[in-house]
Structure 1
Amino acid sequence: MNGDDEAVAASADPSLPLDWRFSQVFGERSAGEEVQEAGVSSAVDIISAIEFDHSGDHLATGDRGGRVVLFERTDAKNSSGARRDLEETDYPLRHPEFRYKTEFQSHDPEFDYLKSLEIEEKINKIRWCQTANGALFLLSTNDKTIKFWKVQDKKIKKICDINSDPSRAVGNGTIATSVNGGVPEANNSFIPGGISSLRLPVIQVTSHESSPVARCRRVYSHAHDYHINSISNNSDGETFISADDLRINLWNLEISNQSFNIVDVKPAKMEDLSEVITSAEFHPTHCNMLAYSSSKGSIRLIDLRQSALCDSHSKLFEEPEAAGPKSFFTEIIASVSDIKFAKEGRYLLSRDYMTLKLWDINMDSGPVATFQVHEYLKPKLCDLYENDSIFDKFECCISGNGLRAATGSYSNLFRVFGVSPGSTETATLEASRNPTRRHIPIPSRPSRALSSITRVVSRGSESSGVDGNSNALDYTTKLLHLAWHPNENSIACAAANSLYMYYA
Structure 2
Amino acid sequence: MGTEHVGFEFDDRESTLFGERSPDDEIQDADIISAVEFDKSGNYVAVGDRGGRIVIFEAKDGKDTAERHYSRNQLEQLDYVSLSHPEYQYKTEFQSREPEFDYLKSLEIEEKINKLKWCTSLNGSLFILSTNDKTIKLWKVKGRKVKKAREMDFPCQFVSTENVLLGERSFLNEQDIPSVANGNNLEGEENVANNIFPSHDLHYKIANYEDTAYARCRRVYANAHDFNINSISNNRTQTELCFGFYMMEGIQRNDLRVNLWNLEVTDQSFNIVDMKPSNMEDLTEVITSAEFHPTHCNLLSYSSSRGFIRLVDMRQSALCDFNAMIFRDEQSHGSPSFLTEIVASISDIKFSVDGRHILSRDYMNLKLWDVRMDSSPVATFKIHEHLRPNLCDLYTNDSIFDKFECCVSGDGLHFATGSYRFSCYFMPTCLVI
Q: TM-score range by the shorter chain?
A: 0.7 to 0.9
Q: Does residue 45 in structure 1 map to residue 31 in structure 2?
A: yes
- Runs ≥4 residues deviating over 4 A: 17-26, 80-88, 157-160, 321-324
Identity %: 60
| C-alpha contact (below 8 Å) 1:249/1:260 kept by paired residues | yes
The Cα shift of 1:330 comes to 1.2
| C-alpha contact (below 8 Å) 2:8/2:425 kept by paired residues | no
* Corresponding residue to 1:263 among 273, 288, 296: 273
| C-alpha contact (below 8 Å) 2:11/2:421 kept by paired residues | no
Q: Does residue 111 in structure 1 map to residue 97 in structure 2?
A: no
Opposite residue 25 of structure 2, the aligned amino acid is E
- Residue deviations 1:285-317, cap 9 Å, x none? 111111000000110001111111101210000
- Residue deviations 1:39-79, cap 9 Å, x none? xxxx1111111100111100001111111110001112433
The Cα shift of 1:334 comes to 0.5
The equivalent residue for 2:249 is: none
Distance 1:366 1:103 in 2: 43
- Residue deviations 1:324-343, cap 9 Å, x none? 54222111100000001110
SS class of match (2:278): coil
TM-score (structure 2 length as normaliser): 0.76
Distance 1:34 1:159 in 2: 37
| C-alpha contact (below 8 Å) 1:76/1:83 kept by paired residues | no
The Cα shift of 1:81 comes to 7.2
| C-alpha contact (below 8 Å) 1:155/1:207 kept by paired residues | no
The Cα shift of 1:30 comes to 2.7
Question: Can you give the 5+ residue segments of structure 1 that lack an aligned partner in the other structure?
Answer: 1-16, 37-42, 161-204, 424-504
SS class of match (1:307): coil
The equivalent residue for 1:33 is: 25
Q: Does residue 98 in structure 1 map to residue 85 in structure 2?
A: no
Flag the structure with higher helix content: 2
The Cα shift of 1:210 comes to 3.0
Q: Does residue 79 in structure 1 map to residue 76 in structure 2?
A: no
* Corresponding residue to 1:292 among 302, 308, 316: 302
The equivalent residue for 1:404 is: 414
Distance 2:39 2:317 in 1: 31
**Count of residues in correspondence between the two structures:** 356
The equivalent residue for 1:303 is: 313
The Cα shift of 1:32 comes to 2.8
The equivalent residue for 1:414 is: 424
The equivalent residue for 2:382 is: 372
The equivalent residue for 2:282 is: 272
SS class of match (2:31): coil
SS class of match (2:346): coil
The Cα shift of 1:322 comes to 5.7
The equivalent residue for 2:182 is: none
| C-alpha contact (below 8 Å) 1:369/1:419 kept by paired residues | no
The equivalent residue for 1:461 is: none
Change (3 A) 1:154 1:262: same
Q: Does residue 66 in structure 1 map to residue 67 in structure 2?
A: no
The equivalent residue for 1:220 is: 221
* Corresponding residue to 1:391 among 395, 398, 401: 401
Q: Does residue 145 in structure 1 map to residue 135 in structure 2?
A: yes
Distance 1:382 1:319 in 2: 23
Distance 1:94 1:360 in 2: 32
Distance 2:351 2:70 in 1: 29
TM-score (structure 1 length as normaliser): 0.66
Distance 1:232 1:18 in 2: 28
The equivalent residue for 1:130 is: 120
Question: Can you give the 5+ residue segments of structure 2 that lack an aligned partner in the other structure?
Answer: 1-5, 151-205, 246-254
Change (3 A) 1:389 1:235: same
| C-alpha contact (below 8 Å) 2:35/2:47 kept by paired residues | yes
